[in-house]
């Protein structure tokens, strides 16, 4: 299924992007230390469906551990915008759903959420506790 093109940005507006995404296909929340601390809510973008529109010079990236994911954030306001990387020989691009500017609250509420046990590098299993995610 083709995604809907959504506009997104950081808090200060220095970075703007668009992403083809279909929230009905599901979103993910992870319990790794990065996602927990930044409250990163992953929405997977369709293949070749991410375009940075402005603010490239305000971006920086952070990786940790095995460097499987490149977490990208705005250096002006600090908002975590998107991530890219690979797991299990699959490349992916995710956006922080909270950074999508033109998604209605009803769409966010209806988006299915799966949980990842990133803290234990078990990405395909739900952690025992998810209430804090």
Indicate which CATH number applies to the domain containing 99: 2.170.150.70
pLDDT tens digits for range 58-72: 999 998 877 778 899
Task: Count the neighbouring beta carbons within 10 Å of the beta carbon of residue 104.
Answer: 8
- The total number of structural domains in the chain stands at 1
In a domain, 126, yes or no: no
Nearest-angstrom CA–CA distance, 89 and 93? 13
> Once rounded to an integer, what is the mean pLDDT over residues 32-43?
93
Q: What is the pLDDT of residues 90-101, one digit of tens each?
A: 678 899 999 999
Query: Is 131 among the domain residues?
Result: no
- pLDDT score at 1: 44
129 occurs within a structural domain: no
With respect to residue 24, please indicate whether it lies within any of the assigned structural domains.
yes
Report, as an integer, the average pLDDT of 75-87: 90
The range of the structural domain enclosing residue 70 comes to 4-116
Whole-prediction pTM? 0.87
Cβ within 8 Å of residue 133, ≥6 positions away = 29, 30, 31, 35, 36, 115, 127
Residue 122 lies in a domain: no
């Amino acid at each position: 299924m083709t995604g809907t093109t959504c506009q997104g940005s950081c808090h200060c507006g220095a970075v703007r992007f668009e992403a083809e995404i279909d929230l009905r296909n599901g979103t993910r929340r992870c319990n790794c230390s990065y996602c927990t601390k930044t409250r990163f809510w992953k929405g997977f973008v369709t293949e070749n469906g991410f375009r940075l529109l402005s603010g490239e010079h305000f971006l920086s990236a952070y990786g940790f551990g095995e460097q499987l994911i490149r977490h990208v954030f705005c250096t002006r306001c600090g908002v975590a915008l998107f991530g890219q990387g690979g797991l299990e020989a699959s490349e992916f691009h995710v956006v922080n759903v909270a950074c999508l500017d033109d998604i209605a609250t009803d769409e966010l509420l209806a988006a299915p959420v799966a949980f990842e046990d990133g803290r234990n590098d078990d990405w395909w299993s739900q952690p025992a506790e998810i209430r804090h995610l």
